[in-house]
Amino acid sequence: MQQKSKGIKYFGTLTSLLRDRDSFLEEVKEGVRLPSKIISLLVCSSLFLSIYGAIIGAYHSWMQALSSAVKLPVLYLITLLICLPTLFFANIIFGSKRTFGQFFAIVLTAVSITSVLLFSFASISLFFMISTNHYQFIILINVIIFSITGFIGVSFLSKAANVVLEQEPDKIREKSLEDNLEYKLEQNQEQNREQNLEYKLEQNLEQNQEYNLEQNLDKESEILIEQDFIKFSKEDLQDNSKHKLNKDDNGSKIRQKIVKYWLFLYAFVGIQLGWSLRPFFGTPGSPFQLFREREGNIYVSIIQSLAYLLGIR
């Protein structure tokens, strides 16, 4: 009974993500119940991915189905874990104030979206598997499904990154700057007042009333000058704070770029991991194997086969 309600809770997080993405991201941004969100996203996405994995493996045999059901979630989630530190530290270096949990959450949302979409394609994939016997066609259709879902997941990731990583020009710092400014102004004014008072006192003590008129004129001009000074210092401070805000703006642009470049890293690692985890489908007629014998590095293989095609070797 309890387990059931737990399952419903996990599912609830996912549907809330799907239904009302904006408020979900807003919650991630504010760090509301992050651990529970992360866990439920993890559970949901691995569940959906393993269902899809089981379906594509079922084309070969039930053993292949089982192994694919494990391999497919592993492929998506391990790649994520491998690449996450790079994203986190690179963002921190460019002034992000988000926590590791928040980064984990937004990247997981992208994977969850992909997994849900894959799940929604599962019936179509299953239908083609039952109705056709053509291995290459099934591979082709799956590649298309994977690229569509992956593309939507990625576009969602960049949107989520925009929402969550966007730091409104640092309210706290801005406030402290303003406070600083006011404080300095007050200090200046107080100083001026004190100086004026002392000055007046001295003047009164030292000088006759005849002199007073001239002194008053002098004082007035002095006060004017000081007011000018205050004005300038205020402008200066404001300029400074603007400069800092601009700087932060610059940082947020760089951070968005980092997310984009990080996707390449994710793909780079994911391709290699997919290569090492093969087979997912299992060629029909071949005996079941958990892993194919290691063919090493996919990039080296690609370059070598290219070289072979071009006749360099």
Partner 1 sequence: MLEKRTHKAENLNVLINLLRDRQNFLEEINQGIRLPNKINSLLVSSSVCFALYGLIIGASHSWMQSLSSAIKFPAFYLLTLMICFPTLFFFNILFGSRSTLLQHLAVLLTAVSVISVLLFSFAPVTLFFLITTPNSYQFFKILNVLIFLITGFFGVKFLYEGMQILSKQNENGKKTRTFIVQSWLILYGLIGMQLGWFLRPFFGSPGSQFELFRAIQGNFYLDIIEAFAEVFGFK
Q: Which residues bind partner 1 (CB under 8 A)?
A: 81-86, 88-90, 92-93, 95, 97, 244, 247, 265, 269, 272-273, 275-276, 294, 296-297, 299-300, 303-304, 307, 312-313
* 173 or 231: CB nearest partner 1: 173
Closest separation in Å from C-beta 132 to partner 1 = 33
Q: Give the largest Cα separation in the chain, rounded.
A: 118
* 205 or 312: CB nearest partner 1: 312
* 192 or 256: CB nearest partner 1: 256
Q: Count other Cβ atoms within 10 Å, centred on residue 89.
A: 13
* 7 or 95: CB nearest partner 1: 95
Closest separation in Å from C-beta 207 to partner 1 = 42
Closest separation in Å from C-beta 55 to partner 1 = 26
* 74 or 148: CB nearest partner 1: 74
Residue 171 in tokens: 């309210």
Closest separation in Å from C-beta 124 to partner 1 = 32
Closest separation in Å from C-beta 34 to partner 1 = 19
* 79: nearest Cα among 255, 275, 260: 275
* 181 or 245: CB nearest partner 1: 245
* 97 or 260: CB nearest partner 1: 97
Closest separation in Å from C-beta 85 to partner 1 = 4
Per-residue three-class SS string for the chain = CHHHHHHHHHHHHHHHHHHCHHHHHHHHHHCCCHHHHHHHHHHHHHHHHHHHHHHHHHCCCHHHHHHHHHHHHHHHHHHHHHHHHHHHHHHHHCCCCCCHHHHHHHHHHHHHHHHHHHHHHHHHHHHHHHHCCCHHHHHHHHHHHHHHHHHHHHHHHHHHHHHHHCCCCCHHHHHHHHHHHHHHHHHHHHHHHHHHHHHHHHHHHHCCHHHHHHHHHHHHHHHHHHHHHHHHHHHHHHHHHHHHHHHHHHHHHHHHHHHHHHHHHHHHHHHHHHHHHCCCCCCCCCCCCCCCCCCCCHHHHHHHHHHHHCCCC
Closest separation in Å from C-beta 23 to partner 1 = 27
* 29 or 98: CB nearest partner 1: 98
Closest separation in Å from C-beta 164 to partner 1 = 17
Q: What is the number of alpha carbons within 13 Å of residue 141 lying toward its C-beta?
A: 15
Q: Count other Cβ atoms within 10 Å, centred on residue 76.
A: 24
